């Protein structure tokens, strides 16, 4: 080992500078992400209702109550609705986005004239805020002035479309807007996957007499596995984080019909002053996302080495 005494100043400096420069970001992430996660986990074990945690006289405003927030949480019908909605929303959102994305990608991959013109039109919703998207869809689907009203003025007076006001169907309108926003992005992911396939393999398959249908079913789509995986992971994590769209479109209503875990957490923490319960719901959300993201990121980082 080259002893420190022999190492010259410049070498030692160059050894430390990178670590020094990296440290602010590192501290930020460790404190504001991982520290805060631990903090929220801690809050979820307390009966805190509102900030601050210490009152004017320096007294603690909370007690440790173990897991009872979680017990309470899973007994709340409100949370049960949020979870059920999440399952419906995420399931439909992921499946429909994948189908539309894959279809568009395959169609666009047929040497389409004007592909460069079409692609940005499919993708621009990703650049918009969910609040903007939500506003547009909210009024377009509004039975008073939107689609129902429009079709009726066209002469179909019996036409009815009031899903956004209907407890049983409102969640599907949120799915519609969310699909509108992200399916173009999924298309781009699949298109990149398609463009990455070796054309010679396709030629070989054609020499073997494969029809277009078989070519896609047997050769191309199986090779898109990584794109499917990425799409699933991204969509799943977006679904769990969905918040703004619901706030803008339905505000969680009618009633609680479009309540999702993200909106549940927000309202319990900030409007209902049930911070302990809000924290425990956030922990559940984090664990769900972690279960999806960590294996994926681990595999991706490992592969890179």
Partner 1 sequence: MAIASSDTAIRTGRFTRTLIYVVLILFVLFYMLPLYVMLVNSVKPLGEITGGGMMSLPTAFTLEPWAKAWSTAQIGVEPTGLQPYFWNSISMVVPAVVISTTLGALNGYILTKWRFRGDTILFGLMLFSCFIPFQIVLIPMAAILGKLGLSGSTAGLVLVHVVYGVGFSTLYFRNYYAAFPTELVRAAQIDGAGFFQIFWRILLPSSGPIIVVCVIWQFTNIWNDFLFGASFASGDGAPMTVALNNLVQSSTGVKEYNVHFAGAILAAMPTLLVYIVAGRYFVRGLMAGSVKG
Partner 2 sequence: MGFLDINNVTKSYGTVEVLHRVNIAVEEGEFLVLVGPSGCGKSTLLNMIAGLEEITSGDIRIKDSVMNGVHPSNRNIAMVFQSYALYPNMTVGQNITFGLEMHGVPKPEREKAMADVARLLQIEQLLDRKPGQLSGGQRQRVAMGRALVRNPDVFLFDEPLSNLDAKLRVDMRTEIKKLHQKLGTTIVYVTHDQIEAMTLSTRIAVMNGGYVQQLGTPKEIYDTPANLFVATFMGSPSMNLINVTVQVDGNSVYAKTQNDQGKDLRLALYEPSEALKAFDGKDVILGVRSEALTDVEGADQRSSHVEVIRNTVTVTEPAGSDTFVATTVGGAECVARMRADTDVSPGQQAEFAFNMEKAVVFDPETENRIQ
Question: In the range 14-43, which residues lie near partner 2 by CB under 8 A?
Answer: 14
Shortest distance, position 46 Cβ to partner 1, whole Å:
11
Relative orientation angle of helices 36-44 and 275-304, to the nearest 10 degrees: 140
Q: Does 83 bind partner 1 (CB under 8 A)?
A: no
Query: Which segment (61-69, 75-83, 85-93, 223-231) binds partner 1 by CB under 8 A?
Result: 223-231
156 binds, among partner 2, partner 1, none (CB under 5 to 8 A by kind): none
Q: Does 252 bind partner 1 (CB under 8 A)?
A: no
Shortest distance, position 130 Cβ to partner 1, whole Å:
7
Question: What is residue 244's three-state secondary structure?
Answer: helix
32 touches 257 (CB < 8 A): no
Instruction: Give the CA count within 13 Å in the CB-facing half-sphere of 46.
Output: 16
Query: Which segment (59-67, 85-93, 108-116, 158-166) binds partner 1 by CB under 8 A?
Result: 108-116
8 binds, among partner 2, partner 1, none (CB under 5 to 8 A by kind): partner 2
Q: Does 26 bind partner 1 (CB under 8 A)?
A: yes
Nearer to partner 2, 2 or 121 (CB): 2
The verdict on whether omega for the bond into residue 254 sits within 30 degrees of 0, i.e. cis, is yes
Which of 87, 99, 126, 156 binds partner 1 (CB under 8 A)? It is 126
Which of 90, 96, 275, 277 binds partner 1 (CB under 8 A)? It is 275
Q: Does 10 bind partner 2 (CB under 8 A)?
A: yes
Q: Does 95 bind partner 1 (CB under 8 A)?
A: no
Cite the DSSP H helix spans in the chain. 9-28, 36-44, 68-75, 77-108, 115-123, 130-140, 147-153, 170-195, 199-207, 212-214, 221-223, 225-241, 244-249, 261-266, 275-304
State the Cα–Cα distance between residues 165 and 159, nearest whole angstrom: 15
Shortest distance, position 193 Cβ to partner 1, whole Å:
8
The secondary structure of 11-57, three-state, reads HHHHHHHHHHHHHHHHHHHHHHHHHHHHHHHHHHCECCCCCCCECCC
Q: Does 131 bind partner 1 (CB under 8 A)?
A: yes
> Site residues (CB under 8 A) for partner 2?
1-4, 6-8, 10-11, 14
């Amino acid at each position: 080992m080259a002893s420190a005494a022999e190492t010259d100043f410049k070498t030692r400096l160059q050894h430390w500078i990178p670590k020094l420069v990296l440290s602010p970001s590192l501290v930020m992430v460790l404190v504001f992400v991982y520290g805060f996660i631990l903090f929220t986990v801690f809050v979820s074990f307390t009966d805190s209702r509102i900030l601050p945690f210490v009152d004017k006289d320096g007294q603690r405003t909370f007690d440790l109550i173990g897991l009872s927030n979680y017990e309470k949480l899973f007994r709340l019908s409100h949370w049960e609705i949020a979870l059920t909605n999440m399952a419906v929303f995420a399931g439909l959102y992921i499946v429909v986005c994948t189908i539309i994305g894959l279809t568009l990608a395959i169609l666009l991959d047929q040497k389409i004239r004007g592909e460069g013109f079409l692609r940005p039109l499919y993708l621009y919703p990703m650049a918009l805020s969910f609040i903007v998207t939500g506003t547009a869809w909210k009024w377009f689907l509004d039975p008073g002035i939107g689609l129902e009203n429009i079709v009726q003025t066209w002469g179909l007076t019996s036409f009815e479309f009031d899903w956004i006001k209907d407890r049983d169907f409102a969640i599907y309108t949120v799915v519609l807007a969310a699909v509108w926003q992200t399916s173009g992005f999924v298309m781009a992911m699949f298109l990149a996957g398609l463009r990455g396939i070796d054309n010679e393999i396709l030629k070989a398959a054609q020499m073997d007499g494969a029809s277009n249908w078989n070519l896609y079913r047997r050769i191309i789509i199986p090779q898109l596995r990584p794109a499917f995986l990425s799409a699933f992971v991204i969509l799943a994590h977006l679904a769990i984080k969905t918040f703004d769209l619901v706030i803008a479109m339905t505000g969680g209503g009618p009633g609680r019909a479009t309540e999702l875990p993200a909106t549940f957490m927000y309202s319990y923490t900030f409007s209902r002053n049930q911070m302990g319960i809000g924290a425990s719901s956030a922990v559940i959300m984090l664990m769900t996302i972690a279960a999806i993201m960590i294996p994926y990121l681990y595999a991706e980082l490992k592969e890179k080495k």
